[in-house]
Structure 1
């Protein structure tokens, strides 16, 4: 039964059109990052970037090198859409995007993570074997079918993303709509809809529909009777997010995924009328079946475990941030902080107050003042800087943090030398003080 479910051959039209959509969106993301100033603000103006911990060696190219870097990625997107040198283009984009993702987290976004995962998956899929320049240049690779597990793999990835996003919203500040009020308050200057977004009724509708949409969209798209209405809801939901939150290509990428829920023959008739239909229903077991199932199984096991790892880490993730990233916890919190850094010269005993503006951009300062890993990394940077000058120092942080508009509370133990403590990759850092949020503050 499982062999037939996974390895039955189906028309590959959904994968082909998704490749085209994906490539176009990749190009728009990369070229748009240059035109909107994102590359300049995030990767060129800062004197250094806050990387994922362990990747401090991964810094932006000097000068205007990152403009060229993004131009190359955008061009790779065009190659993906055209199906030209597809394997090279997708793998090269995946590696280059992974580097961008890891080299900065000041502008961290779950959607950047999803783009990385999809690019990685697409690198191994036969999305170039029809309606592509590769198939035209080498007719021997041309085919009009694919194994069904490709479709179900994409569906499974979407199910994980949406389901975890829905479950993550089941907490106090979302259920009482206070976080939605905070997020929408920033949009009150929007023309036409700015005032509407401040209405409590809108906050309630968005809060409830956000949970229900994320929870039900994949099952509703799978059921033929509800598919039309689910697709209409998806269009409205994602266009609303695109207009209100301006989150780049993600809403359009999410809509592009919808092609995998429709009958492949329907997709062929809409997008590839001249393409030969696939009318045979045969099961082709790959020679390395166990390897394929093993790799896919390990991948999805990781995808299932990563988003729940914060349940096994001491403390409230909303306060500590430990286990927040890579977990589809989207638009769940707003953080701000009142933070200062003091340096003690351990040889002379002299103390210095660090002027953050000498080191950081405005956006970096906002992150530094509210997020523990930024604080730790900056302390390590100060330690290295002074060590190069032959000075042995201690770094102390006085940080008061507010989450979701609540009062500021002491966040870091001010008596801990942050230059000396290690970073806990897989557990709780004891220098983060206990959460006051559960006390109802």
Structure 2
């Protein structure tokens, strides 16, 4: 038996999985109910005339009327069911599907933790997280068990290692290393009570910049190594609470803290959360019948997780400029983009031209995105093409006066004004030549 099989198929105590299920369910329910109460659902999915979905998922549209409120209420309720361990398998699979759906139907409000929730909830579909301290186990004692396979822990740990490592490496570029982007990120925090002025200090920017790189790079190894585990634990609390207070990014900091239960000894987790639980200490190895299937699926999944974040290295030009390969690559808080743009619609038959009033189509949030992100620009051109086609007109759509500023730098020409975007196709893994090159254009105010 090789070392990998011993690592993955040794039975270990499942206290960490049980408590993580409870934390996870509570957090996703708060995320979903909170999205309704804070107006996020209204502003992002209800009020806009349409959403900018992930390209290729045009068929996935928000439900009409009060549909999206019900949608999020259902997801929040599924979170409660997950926490309680009630019909767990149905609840976690249903939540994963619904959350993936809402993720794909809009990207005007994009956060990495939305994507991470898909991955973690998807992984949790394969784990017996209701094997104790759940309504399922109470109703059906035959599913109760005190152990889990080692691969449950290591799948979570490896996923976190990938996320944090890529996040650290992505920060190793000029605007982070000279703390310019951090200054921009902090500039709109000046009115924060007590800490607002402090966040504007250059020495604070340096601490945040260097600390962000080191934390992301070292936190998983530090939690795995017993001598540094307690220090890493308290560093995590400070780091994630700081992010929660300053950046207000929903449940992500608290979800990150919840993962820590997989790094402490089972006895510690059991003594804190499940004092009456029998501690499993058998550490027996059992090769399940699904070993080969599990190894195959796990290998495919993690290969994708390793390759997807580096796809931009195989796409022409700089991802910071083109945005091609940015999403789903753990490039967190790395840039601030603003832009200007004018859409010109030309009737192919009459050659009559008209300029589009964006206020007639877009919400404020969408307007902030459309001028600075090429996929938004392309999608809007496609939408204009379809709208005019319904009126019997064949049109071309051009992006005029398109300029982008990245991280506070001077505006530069972004989209080729001579290209008819309405008749361009989209390549998910390639470069689009109508995005002007970042290194061959002159800066302009």
- TM-score grouping bracket, smaller chain normalisation: over 0.9
Q: CA deviation at 1:279?
A: 2.2
Structure 2 unmatched ranges of 5 or more: none
**What is the alpha-carbon root mean square deviation over aligned residues?**
1.1
Counterpart-to-counterpart distance in 2, 1:47 and 1:258:
41
Q: Is the 2:244–2:253 contact (alpha carbons within 8 Å) kept by the matching residues of 1?
A: yes
Counterpart-to-counterpart distance in 1, 2:261 and 2:167:
21
1:122 paired with 2:127, answer no
Q: Is the 1:337–1:400 contact (alpha carbons within 8 Å) kept by the matching residues of 2?
A: yes
2:422 is matched with which residue? 419
Q: CA deviation at 1:436?
A: 3.9
* 1:400-411 aligned within 5 A: 400-411=403-414
Which of the residues 213, 220, 223 maps onto 1:221?
223
2:147 is matched with which residue? 145
Give the match's secondary structure for 2:422: coil
Counterpart-to-counterpart distance in 2, 1:425 and 1:101:
17
2:169 is matched with which residue? 167
Structure 1 unmatched ranges of 5 or more: none
Counterpart-to-counterpart distance in 2, 1:270 and 1:118:
24
Counterpart-to-counterpart distance in 2, 1:333 and 1:183:
9
1:430 paired with 2:425, answer no
Q: CA deviation at 1:331?
A: 0.1
Q: CA deviation at 1:285?
A: 0.4
Q: Is the 2:411–2:443 contact (alpha carbons within 8 Å) kept by the matching residues of 1?
A: no
Deviates more, 1:57-66 or 1:76-85: 57-66
1:311 is matched with which residue? 313
Aligned length: 441
2:187 is matched with which residue? 185
- Change in CA separation of 1:359 and 1:9 when aligned onto 2, cut-off 3 Å: same
Counterpart-to-counterpart distance in 2, 1:281 and 1:230:
26
Q: Is the 1:50–1:106 contact (alpha carbons within 8 Å) kept by the matching residues of 2?
A: yes
* 1:5-154 aligned within 5 A: 5-154=7-156
Counterpart-to-counterpart distance in 1, 2:299 and 2:351:
56
Q: What whole-Å deviation, never above 9, does each CA across 1:100-126 have from its counterpart, x for those lacking one?
A: 000000001111000111010111111
Give the match's secondary structure for 1:151: helix
1:206 is matched with which residue? 208
Give the match's secondary structure for 1:419: helix
Q: Is the 1:412–1:431 contact (alpha carbons within 8 Å) kept by the matching residues of 2?
A: yes
* 1:359-378 aligned within 5 A: 359-378=361-380
Counterpart-to-counterpart distance in 1, 2:176 and 2:443:
15
Q: Is the 2:15–2:266 contact (alpha carbons within 8 Å) kept by the matching residues of 1?
A: yes
Counterpart-to-counterpart distance in 1, 2:351 and 2:77:
55
Give the match's secondary structure for 1:396: strand
* 1:295-306 aligned within 5 A: 295-306=297-308
1:352 is matched with which residue? 354
Which of the residues 234, 239, 242 maps onto 2:241?
239
TM-score for the superposition, normalised by structure 2: 0.98
Q: What whole-Å deviation, never above 9, does each CA across 1:288-334 have from its counterpart, x for those lacking one?
A: 21111000010000000000000000010000000000000000000
Give the match's secondary structure for 2:148: strand
Deviates more, 1:313-322 or 1:262-271: 262-271
